[in-house]
Amino acid sequence: MRITQRIRDLIEEKQSAIMAGLDPAPAQLGREQYSLPPSTDTLSFARHYVAAVVPYVVVLKLNVGYFLYPDGIRHIRAIVRHAHVCREH
């Protein structure tokens, strides 16, 4: 199935066209007001965020620029898997 059709089906199913972005900016980027505290586990934060929004959104957009750290790609894969698990429940 093409992605555009999948999105249309999800819009119909959820009666929603909401997209949620995941931008877990670390404090050292100079966005203190909108940043994660330095002690925050980014993967844990992302999993909680995903679980909270998946029932309502059609698309989850990860800002990969905030995952450019050691294990970042592994974390992206884990977050995507988690989103699929949350959607199934």
33 pLDDT higher than 80: no
81 pLDDT higher than 90: yes
Q: Is 10 helix (H, G, I), strand (E, B) or coil?
A: helix
Q: 42-53 and 72-88 helices cross at what angle (nearest 10)?
A: 30
User: How far apart (Å, rounded) are the C-alpha atoms in residues 72 and 70?
Assistant: 5
Percent pLDDT > 90 in the chain is 63
32 pLDDT higher than 80: no
